[in-house]
A and B are shown apart, each in its own frame.
Chain A
Amino acid sequence: MSRTERLTELDERIVAAAEADLRQLLSIEPSPELTAKVRARIDDKRESRAWKWWGWIGLAVATAAAVILAVALRPEHTAAPNGGVVANARPDDNLRASSRTDDTTDPAPKTTLHPVARHRSPARAAEPGPNPEIIIDPEMTDAIRRMAIALRNAEPDASTAEQLQMQMGEPAPLTIAEPLNVRELVLKPAEQNGGNQE
C-alpha cells in the first residue's frame, strides 16, 4: 500500500479509525429468516413467471382462435345469394344464367368461369378498385344491369334459354385459316397505253 503512505500521519489515523468503525458497522449478521425469505421470493418469482407464461399462451391461443374464426366467417365464405351477385361485372354470365333464379348454385363449368365476380359481396361490389367493370362504359353497364334485373325478375321459362340457344346456333367449327399468301409486290414502270390491255 505504498500510495497510502503519502497521507499525513493524522490522515492515516483518521482513516484507520474510520475503517475500524466501518468494519464494526458492517459486521452485522443477516437475520436467520433471510434464507427462508429468499426461498419464498424465488418461489413467488417462479410462480409469477409461470402465470405470465400461461397468460401469454392463453393470449396466443385466443388470437389464433380469433384469426380462425375471422377466416371462417369471412363474407366470401357465407352464402351470398342474389344480393351478392354483381350485375355489371360479368354481363355474359348473367345472360347465360338468365333462366336460373339462383346462379350461385349453378354447378356448370360454363358459369363458374368467373367465380370472384359471382360471389362478390355487395360491400365489395361497391368498392372502386382494379375490377373489370371500370373499363366498361357506364351506359352499357346500366343497360346490362337493367337487363339482368329484368331477366331475374321474370318468370323462369326454359323456352327462353332454348330460344337463345337457337338464335346463337351451334358454334361454328373452328377453322384454321391458311397463312395469307401475298405475292411480292413488284414495281414496274407504267405502260404507255394507259393501262389498257391489248
Chain B
Amino acid sequence: MNDWAGGFSGTFVTLDEDLEREFEDRLRESTTLAFRVAYGVLRHRQDAEDVAQEAFAKAYRSFTQLRDRDRFRAWLMRMTWRLAIDRWRSDRRRTAREQAVKNGEEPSTEEIAVSRERAERLWEAIDTLPEKLRIVVVLGAIEGHDIRTMARLLNLPEGTVKSRLYLARKGLAESLRCLAPSD
C-alpha cells in the first residue's frame, strides 16, 4: 500500500499536483474498503480485486468532478458496490466457479476459520436478502462500521439504516434458523 505515494507521481499526469496528492491519500485509505465491499458480493478474490481496480479507475476519471471530496469514501464504496452487483448478476462463470469450490477447491483461510459449510450457508442467506438490506449487513461486517458511518457511506438517514439493519437481521435469522444448535 505504501507504493502509492511514490508510484502516482509519474502516473496521474492529468490531475494537477494537489489533486494528485489528494487522490493518493483517498485511495490509500479506501483500497481495503473497496476490495472488501466487492468481496462481500463476489466472494472471489480475483474478481473482487478486478472490481476494485475498475472502481478506482472510474474514481480517478471523475475525481475532479467530485465537489465534496470528504465524501470520496462513500462515493467509492457505492461505486464499488454497484460494479460488484453488476458483475455478480451478469457473470455466468460464477455458477461454475462456485460449483468448483464445492467440488473440492482449496478453501481460503477465512473459510477454514469459519468452516466451509457454515460459510456457504451464510453467503446463501445473504444472497437471499434484497440488495438494500444486503449492503447494510456487509457494511456492518466490514471494519466494524456503526450505524452513523453506514448512514454516511450510504447517504441515508440513520433511522433508515437502523430499520434496514433490523430487517436484514430478521431475514438472516429466518434463513439460518435451521442451522442453530438446539439447546
* Contact status A21-B114, CB under 8 Å: yes
A29 to B143, alpha carbons, bound, how many Å? Answer: 12
Rounded to whole Å, the gap between the CB of B48 and the closest CB of chain A is: 8
* Contact status B35-A34, CB under 8 Å: yes
Q: Does B53 contact A (CB under 8 A)?
A: yes
How would residues 115 to 157 of chain B score, 1 for a CB under 8 Å from any chain A CB and 0 otherwise? 0001100100110000000000110111010010000000000
* Contact status B180-A14, CB under 8 Å: yes
Best-surrounded residue of A22, A38, A39 (most CB of chain B within 10 A): A38
A10 to B180, alpha carbons, bound, how many Å? Answer: 8
B113 in complex: contacting residue of A14, A24, A36, CB < 8 Å: A24
Asked whether A14 and B172 contact (CB < 8 A) given A35-B7, A41-B53, the answer is yes
* Contact status B173-A14, CB under 8 Å: yes
Q: Quick one: closest B residue to A6, CB to CB?
A: B166
How would residues 11 to 37 of chain A score, 1 for a CB under 8 Å from any chain B CB and 0 otherwise? 111110111011111111111101111
User: What residues on A are CB-neighbors of B126 within 8 Å?
Assistant: 22
A37 to B35, alpha carbons, bound, how many Å? Answer: 13
How would residues 57 to 75 of chain B score, 1 for a CB under 8 Å from any chain A CB and 0 otherwise? 1001100000000000000
B53 in complex: contacting residue of A24, A26, A34, CB < 8 Å: A34
How would residues 38 to 68 of chain A score, 1 for a CB under 8 Å from any chain B CB and 0 otherwise? 1101110110000000000000000000000
Q: Does A4 contact B (CB under 8 A)?
A: yes
Rounded to whole Å, the gap between the CB of A179 and the closest CB of chain B is: 79
* Contact status A15-B169, CB under 8 Å: yes
A28 to B47, alpha carbons, bound, how many Å? Answer: 14
Q: Quick one: closest B residue to A44, CB to CB?
A: B57
B57 in complex: contacting residue of A7, A32, A41, CB < 8 Å: A41
Q: Quick one: closest A residue to B141, CB to CB?
A: A22
User: What residues on A are CB-neighbors of B147 within 8 Å?
Assistant: 1
* Contact status B138-A26, CB under 8 Å: yes
Number of interface residues of B (CB under 8 A): 54
Rounded to whole Å, the gap between the CB of A25 and the closest CB of chain B is: 5
User: What residues on B are CB-neighbors of A37 within 8 Å?
Assistant: 49, 53
* Contact status B114-A34, CB under 8 Å: no
Q: Does A3 contact B (CB under 8 A)?
A: yes
A29 to B31, alpha carbons, bound, how many Å? Answer: 10
A39 to B4, alpha carbons, bound, how many Å? Answer: 9
Stretch at the interface among B8-16, B81-89, B93-101: B8-16
A38 in complex: contacting residue of B56, B108, B173, CB < 8 Å: B56
Asked whether A35 and B1 contact (CB < 8 A) given A14-B180, A27-B110, A43-B11, the answer is yes
Asked whether A41 and B54 contact (CB < 8 A) given A25-B110, A25-B122, the answer is yes
What residues of chain B have their CB less than 8 Å away from a CB belonging to chain A?
Answer: 1, 3-4, 7-8, 11-12, 14, 27, 31-32, 35-36, 39-40, 45, 48-49, 52-54, 56-57, 60-61, 108, 110-111, 113-114, 118-119, 122, 125-126, 137-138, 140-142, 144, 147, 162-163, 165-166, 169-170, 172-173, 176-177, 179-180
**A-B CB contact pairs (8 Å), 21 listed:** A3-B162, A7-B169, A15-B173, A19-B137, A19-B140, A21-B114, A22-B122, A24-B110, A24-B114, A26-B110, A26-B138, A27-B110, A28-B36, A28-B45, A29-B32, A32-B1, A34-B53, A38-B52, A42-B11, A42-B12, A46-B14
Known interface pairs A1-B166, A39-B8; 12 further A-B residue pairs with C-beta atoms within 8 A, sorted by A's residue number: A11-B169, A19-B137, A22-B126, A25-B111, A30-B52, A31-B45, A31-B49, A32-B1, A34-B49, A37-B53, A41-B53, A42-B12
